[in-house]
Structures are given as structure tokens and as C-alpha cells.
Amino acid sequence: MKQVRSPGQRAGLTQARVLEAAHELVADEGVAGLTMRALAGRLGVLPNALYSHVATKNALVDALLDDLLAQVAEPGADVEDPIDGLRTMMTSTFEVLVAHADLVGLYISRQGARGPNAQRLGEVMLRLLARLDVTGERAIDARRVLIVYTIGFAAFSPRGVADGPPLPAAKVAEDYAAGLDWLLTGIATRK
């Protein structure tokens, strides 16, 4: 890959530009198209130049996933019903993730790390759970159930888990909502 810049001129890469190009690459070519070499090509740079800005490809995937979570709608602190707050938040998370389901699958397969956005959302969840009198270890457990359920559904959404033709997106969202209600009811009533 020859570069078109005149010699000595810097590419001027930055971590933000690398992440931005990576998002575009995944959008254009799918997660299978996300290779360090393709990403470098898109940035007009040799593959190894990326390692001045990201530690590894895995770290890059973690960062991409956490970036997505910045789009999740948080309920306002003044929401009346904490169950509604949790439902809103988890549904928003599901919608954001389901739009990038292949990336989520890659993330799961690596037992992805948790970034700053994930951490922030996790704290909002704990506050809402506390208002349901679910605290301490029980709150941690309930949160884990909600997160695993949401991420799992998003990862599976493109083809579903049953036989037959691909599922319509609306159907998947409906099923997700039904299961979410069951979980929230169970959590709230400490069954």
C-alpha cells in the first residue's frame, strides 16, 4: 500500500479518527470487514501505524462497543416509576445494540471488557433498582440478569434461535419486551 502523502508529511492520525473510521468500516463492510489492514487502508496509512493509537484489535472492538452505548437514552433522575425507568433504559440499550448485532456477537465471543459508558449505565441501573428496594448483592445480581438478557437478545437478533426464515425485527423486539417485563416483575416482587 503506497501512501499518497509527500514524504515526511504526517498522516495526522488520532485515536478518535481511528475509531471513527472503524465505525464507518463496520457499517460499510460488516464486522468481518473490520481488519487492521482494511482500516489502515481507509486511513491512508500502513497497518502497523494503527498501533500508535490502539493497543490491539480487541481493544479497538471494546472501544467501538462502548461508543455505541453513548447513544443509550438514560431516564431522567425525576422519573416517577423506577420500573418504567429500567424498562426505558434497557429497551434503548437493546435498540442500540440490535442495530449493530454482529459487533455485539464479536464482543460476546471475546468476553468483552466494560468501558466507561457501560459503567455509567450500570450505575444508573443500580440507582433505579435501589428505588425498588433492591440493593446490595441482590441489586448486582438483578443487574447482571438484565444486562445478559439484553445483550444476548441483541446478539441473536439477526437470525433468531428457532427454525424457519429470519425473524422480522419487530417480532424480535416484541419478544425482548415480553421477557423484559417478566424479569422486571420478578425483580420488583422479589419472587
Partner DNA sequence: ACCTGAACACCGTTCAAGT
Instruction: Write down the least CB distance from residue 126 to a copy of itself, Å.
Output: 10
Indicate the residue among 5 and 110 with the shorter CB distance to a copy of itself.
110
The distance of closest approach from Cβ of residue 59 to DNA in the complex, given in angstroms and rounded to an integer, is: 8
**Closest to DNA by CB, 3 or 185:** 3
Q: Which residues of this protein are in contact with DNA, per CB under 7 A?
A: 2-3, 5, 7-8, 10-13, 34-38, 44-49, 51-53, 56-58
Q: Is 164 left (phi over 0), alpha (psi -120 to 50) or beta?
A: left
Radius of gyration, CA atoms only, the chain? 20
Q: Closest CB to a copy of itself among 43 and 107?
A: 107
108 binds a copy of itself (CB under 8 A): yes
CB contact burial 10-48 (16+ within 10 A = b; e otherwise): eeebeeeebbebbbebbeeeebeebebebbbeebebeee
**35 is an interface residue for a copy of itself by CB under 8 A:** no
Three-class DSSP labels, 101-118: HHHHHHHHHCCCCCCHHH
Q: Would you count residue 115 as binding a copy of itself (CB under 8 A)?
A: no
Per-residue CA distances from 128 to 29, 66, 67, 172, 176 (Å): 38, 21, 23, 26, 20
Task: At 59, list the grid cell.
Answer: 481493544
User: One symbol per residue from 122 to 161: x for binding a copy of itself (CB under 8 A), - otherwise; what is it?
Assistant: x-----------------xxxxxx-xxx-xxx-xx-xxxx
**Chain residues in the site for a copy of itself (CB under 8 A):** 105-106, 108-111, 114, 119, 122, 140-145, 147-149, 151-153, 155-156, 158-163, 174-176, 178-179, 181-183, 185-187, 191
